[in-house]
Structure 1
Amino acid sequence: MKKIIELLNLEVMEAFEKAGYEKEYGAVTLSNRSDLCQYQCNGALAAAKKYKKAPIMIANEVLSILEKSSTFKEIKAIMPGFINIILQDSFLADYLNGMKNAEQFGVEKTKQPLKIVIDYGGPNVAKPLHVGHLRSAIIGESIKRIAKFAGHEVIGDVHLGDWGLQMGLIITELKKRTPDLVYFDDTFTGEYPEEPPFTISELEEIYPFANAYSKEHPEYREEAMNATFLLQSGKPGYMALWNHILNVSISDLKKNYEKLNVEFDLWKKESDAQPYIPDMVQYLKDHNYARISEGALVVDVKEETDTKEIPPCMILKSDGATLYNTTDLATIVERKKLFAPDAILYVVDKRQELYFEQIFRCAKKTKLIDETVNLTFLGFGTMNGKDGKPFKTRDGGVMRLEKLIQEITDAVYEKVMSNREMDQQEAREIAGKVGLAAIKYGDLSNQASKDYIFDLERFTSFEGNTGPYILYTIVRIKSILNKYQTEVGKINQDTQILGADSDSERELMLALVKFNEMIENAYSENAPHKVCQYIYDLSNAFSRFYHDTKIITENNKVKQNSWISLICLTEDILNTCIDLLGLEAPERM
């Protein structure tokens, strides 16, 4: 189904061509003066220069062709040559009926589906998720859902950090506390226990303690580095402990991501890339892509056109040890082998832009990945407190994500209970959905690359551009439809939407027809905030229509049925949009 702007473009372009001008001048855009018109064409102004004719004359010639069209209710040429367009109400209604009956409301799936890998997790195992992990997870999840809706094959990968010094620190501290564990007995040849020797709570206490202790005691850090080396060399007892750490951590991570309504297709790890490293390093040496610099193996990635310094990409340190660079390049090799993707997107803190620039250049220059594969860095800004600094707890620590979710859910619960009497369990379930909407919409409604202020009071408000307001709009529609079915009768899904009866109904229709174009833009720009802006505008348009229209008490049944059909479409599109954001509306609030 063509977007409404495409239909207008076709008609106006054809009119320009019939009038003797190049059809490209007939491009139509949304009006920037909605008080004057709905759409506009400024092509006559551009054409005037080429055809050496007054733009108003060109506009009037085009109008003489268009004024008999059933598409336009009003079309005017305004000095010095603007063409202002107001659509015929019946044309708008017909388009909405087409959306209502079409799959995905007329959004056509791409004819050239891509295979896209999105890397949007990145937590380290053995550590709890904190607020710093929030943006990557929810932005990546929304981008994944939008790309799937557009018709692409999308693979979401959590890409866990599980192979670095933190593993050696945990193993070293465990050995210090419980030296008699079988994992530290080099003579042991039996099966290692299936049950881990620690809980997730104990694990989350061990790592920060060991990390802090290692900074004060060099010999302890040296021991941890040696434990990391032994683990990476395949020491059986350490490998068994590492597996316990993974199992306990991943089980806990899955619970936390589930609370965020974030899902991964792959739970791949840094360690999964290790088998690819030896061959990759040898390949870089054999093809003279890498050179030795001060004992380290590096690849030069600077280009002549660079205006800033781009350091070489280090592959191996002088002692032969690998780095994150090595692992990330090997992960690209792994993804190429396993999935042959057309694109890989990294949803990462924008402060890592230079690092990923090095990685991408290195991968392309050395032909580890084909030139045609699109490697994209989607850098996001920081989530800040009201002081403008990165969000912290009241005592200045980094807040656990679990605690943040609980704080917001509790705040919403208090609001729900203060407005009406409700069963506590139902109120908790509602608060869970609304609280999650407050967090995720509060984040996603901002352009991802920008920093934003986390404002608990504003995000949990049921008014303004917030998640709770969007959900409240959906719940209000549900309430109207339930009341209609109770007091009037069954909803007829085949009822046609008629031409608008009022300005507010027309504005709601105009908001709905922008859905297809919004989806296209949100996908092409990797921009969930465009979905948020759309549903906020749509919710406002519905609210104005609702306040102006007595739907349930309307005596004209034909008109009433049309309105019911219109708000059913509104609810369906709002529900589709919040699903793209990873949200869900309750039945009531």
Structure 2
Amino acid sequence: MQELLELISERVANAFEAAGYDRKLGRVTVSNRPDLCEYQCNGAMAGAKTYHKAPFMIADEIADCLSGDEMFASAESVKPGFLNIRVSGDFLADYANQMAADQERLGLEKERNPRSIIIDYGGPNVAKPLHVGHLRSAIIGEAVKRIARFAGNQVLGDIHLGDWGLQMGLIITELRERKPDLVYFDADYQGAYPEEAPFTISELEEIYPCASGKSKEDEGYHAAAMQATNELQQGRRGYQALLEHILRVSVSDLKKNYEKLSVSFDLWMGESDAQPYIPAMVEKMKRDGFAYLSEGALVVDVAEGSDTKEMPPCMILKSDGSALYNTTDLATLVMREERYQPDEIIYVVDKRQELHFTQCFRVARKTKIVPPETGLVFLGFGTMNGRDGKPFKTRDGGVMRLENLLADVNAKMLEKILEGGHMQKEEAGRTAEIVGLAALKYGDLSNQASKDYVFDLDRFTSAEGNTGPYILYTIVRIKSILKRYEEENSLEGLRVLPPASPSEKDLMQLAARFGDNFRTAYEELAPHKLCAYIYELSNAFNRFYHETKILSEEDEEKKASWIALLSLTKRILEKSIDLLGFAAPERM
């Protein structure tokens, strides 16, 4: 079914066309003055100059055309030329019933021309624990993936592991110092390598920071790590075998941690998977005249005449022939094009990487790594900060592990739930995990992705205000009402009747706008707009709830209508939070 605003706009556009004006002037928006009207159209203002007519005269004509239309309760011309619209209760109720009848999609149509999309998010380095710096990429990327998939597209989420840079050389160098007799360090060894890794995930997580610290203080150690990195990238067998062990051990641990965040990936690929594509890609860039040597490094010019600030060349290979992030990101594009031919690739990464991706996108276009019609989208996000306005840290100033942050949020939620005194500790623990994840994800997603935000544990875990727990509390309240109604009645076959009060109409109106708000969040890659919508919908429900004695209503037909509206509201909220990546408990 058509989205509500599209349906209303179409009817108003017909009126403009019938009156002899361009139907494009009939675009309708939600009113920014809900005290005056529900919807507004400013087309008469826009068309006044074209048609050499006062805008209020055009608006008067359109209002006359719309009078008597069953869709509208009123359509009024207001000087200097605005068109103020209110929809009829009958129309709203019919629309809500159509939504309710669509069990799977709530009336939302799938994309008419679905696209193949790859979303690059996550991006952790192997052999290192996830920390708060990985949070936003995981949460935003997962929401964008779910939203794009629900819109009807074929979507693949790729974690794109960091497994090919200096950190690999550092691990190999430190492991060689600790266990020099391992067969992986024998350059002449030609046999099969052991299947079991020579380290655990705990040992691996300790090895990297130790090696990194040594590298900063010891030039010889740093040089050895650089050499090991280069040999790994050139295909040394023993180092390749160690890389496989590092990946297997790391990925197993990463999956457990991402699972706690309700984040999943379709592709567990990394920079190393793109390595086989690098030689041919580099040779083609040279052969086609795009890549040249500059101070020993291989670069491609990416500056354009429209640039307002300096755009340095994109380095493809370092002077020693080693690959960089630029190299592997470009080779990954080659691999993705060969394997999947995506229509669009969305990168959900820290906004501070914008220069890197601008360079890579320009190289990809210039060298024809991707077809001109393939979309390359940079969705840069801001940082999660502490109350001091600086990137979030532990109390002693270190980088906080993601599992510790989750534990802190869950502990806070458990404390609040137990304070309520109506839940046993075991159930309270399970509920705290569900609500804690909602608090964390909603606290992040309700902010515009590109903006920095302050992580405030007390605010995020509050059941009041624009928070995840408040949204869940609303859903749980509706569940409770429906459950009590079902003790004596069936939910089957209930229909929404035209609203009898302003608060009922507001709730019905917001429920009907699900498709419009979903479409905006999808097209703008803006999960925060879906958050804003469900917060507004929750507020509308709670106003209606506080003004209406739902279960004690003696008019059974009216009560059944309210229950049908509540059931639809619950389904919209549950679908929305699922798209955002969290769920609601049965009770709180």
| Code of the aligned partner of 1:151 | G
Partner of 1:491: 491
Give CA-to-partner distance per residue, 1:119-175, whole Å, 9 cap, x none: 001100000000000001110110011101111111110010111221121122122
- Give the root-mean-square deviation of aligned CA atoms: 1.4
Shift of 1:57: 2.7
| Code of the aligned partner of 1:142 | A
CA distance in 2, matches of 1:26, 1:168: 62
CA distance in 2, matches of 1:238, 1:41: 66
CA distance in 2, matches of 1:364, 1:186: 41
CA distance in 2, matches of 1:199, 1:414: 34
| Code of the aligned partner of 1:481 | L
Say whether the 8 Å CA contact 2:233–2:322 is kept in structure 1.
Answer: no
SS of 2:106 mapped into structure 1? helix
CA distance in 1, matches of 2:490, 2:239: 65
SS of 2:289 mapped into structure 1? coil
SS of 1:6 mapped into structure 2? helix
1:586 paired with 2:575, answer: no
Q: Which moved more, 1:39-48 or 1:85-94?
A: 39-48
Q: Which moved more, 1:64-73 or 1:446-455?
A: 64-73
Q: Which moved more, 1:73-82 or 1:510-519?
A: 73-82
| Code of the aligned partner of 1:527 | A
Shift of 1:549: 1.2
Partner of 1:322: 323
Partner of 2:114: 113
CA distance in 2, matches of 1:243, 1:365: 34
1:527 paired with 2:537, answer: no
Shift of 1:66: 1.5
Partner of 1:555: 554
Partner of 2:43: 43
Partner of 2:502: 503
Partner of 2:9: 9
1:22 paired with 2:18, answer: no
Shift of 1:503: 1.0
| Code of the aligned partner of 2:28 | V
CA distance in 2, matches of 1:211, 1:116: 36
| Code of the aligned partner of 2:248 | N
After the TM superposition, which residues 285-304 of structure 1 pair with which residues of structure 2 at under 5 Å, given as runs?
285-304=286-305
After the TM superposition, which residues 201-280 of structure 1 pair with which residues of structure 2 at under 5 Å, given as runs?
201-280=202-281
CA distance in 2, matches of 1:229, 1:68: 77
Shift of 1:315: 1.0
Shift of 1:220: 1.3
CA distance in 2, matches of 1:12, 1:324: 52
Shift of 1:182: 3.3
CA distance in 2, matches of 1:405, 1:148: 27
Give CA-to-partner distance per residue, 1:175-212, whole Å, 9 cap, x none: 22222333334565544332222211111111001100
| Code of the aligned partner of 2:551 | I
| Code of the aligned partner of 1:518 | N
Residue ranges of structure 1 left out of the alignment (5+ in a row): none
Shift of 1:30: 1.2
Give CA-to-partner distance per residue, 1:306-354, whole Å, 9 cap, x none: 1110111111122222211111111100000000111111111001101
After the TM superposition, which residues 394-409 of structure 1 pair with which residues of structure 2 at under 5 Å, given as runs?
394-409=395-410
Partner of 2:60: 60
Shift of 1:12: 1.7
What is the aligned length? 587
CA distance in 2, matches of 1:377, 1:476: 39
Say whether the 8 Å CA contact 2:230–2:322 is kept in structure 1.
Answer: no
| Code of the aligned partner of 2:366 | K
| Code of the aligned partner of 1:12 | V
Residues 281, 186 of structure 1: CA spacing in aligned structure 2 closer, same or farther, 3 A cutoff? closer
Partner of 1:157: 158
| Code of the aligned partner of 1:135 | R
Residue ranges of structure 2 left out of the alignment (5+ in a row): none
Partner of 1:309: 310
Shift of 1:274: 0.6
Partner of 1:392: 393
Shift of 1:455: 0.5
Shift of 1:563: 0.7
| Code of the aligned partner of 1:413 | L
Residues 362, 186 of structure 1: CA spacing in aligned structure 2 closer, same or farther, 3 A cutoff? closer
Residues 311, 93 of structure 1: CA spacing in aligned structure 2 closer, same or farther, 3 A cutoff? same
Residues 291, 185 of structure 1: CA spacing in aligned structure 2 closer, same or farther, 3 A cutoff? closer
Partner of 2:86: 86
Give CA-to-partner distance per residue, 1:366-392, whole Å, 9 cap, x none: 111111111111110011000000000
CA distance in 1, matches of 2:359, 2:75: 54
After the TM superposition, which residues 413-432 of structure 1 pair with which residues of structure 2 at under 5 Å, given as runs?
413-432=414-433
CA distance in 2, matches of 1:168, 1:50: 67
| Code of the aligned partner of 1:304 | G
Give CA-to-partner distance per residue, 1:523-575, whole Å, 9 cap, x none: 11100001100000000001111111111111111111111111110010101
1:197 paired with 2:198, answer: yes
SS of 1:104 mapped into structure 2? coil
Q: Which moved more, 1:406-415 or 1:288-297?
A: 288-297
CA distance in 1, matches of 2:5, 2:190: 72
* Alignment TM-score, normalising by the size of structure 1: 0.97
Residues 225, 563 of structure 1: CA spacing in aligned structure 2 closer, same or farther, 3 A cutoff? same
Identity of aligned residues (%): 62
SS of 2:105 mapped into structure 1? helix
| Code of the aligned partner of 2:98 | G
CA distance in 1, matches of 2:175, 2:509: 63
Shift of 1:291: 1.4
CA distance in 1, matches of 2:295, 2:242: 36
CA distance in 2, matches of 1:222, 1:276: 26
| Code of the aligned partner of 1:426 | E
Give CA-to-partner distance per residue, 1:390-426, whole Å, 9 cap, x none: 0000000000000000000000000001002322221
Say whether the 8 Å CA contact 2:172–2:228 is kept in structure 1.
Answer: yes
CA distance in 1, matches of 2:66, 2:171: 75
Shift of 1:52: 3.3
CA distance in 1, matches of 2:224, 2:124: 24
Say whether the 8 Å CA contact 2:151–2:522 is kept in structure 1.
Answer: yes
CA distance in 1, matches of 2:44, 2:188: 87
SS of 1:376 mapped into structure 2? strand
CA distance in 1, matches of 2:244, 2:168: 11
SS of 1:105 mapped into structure 2? coil
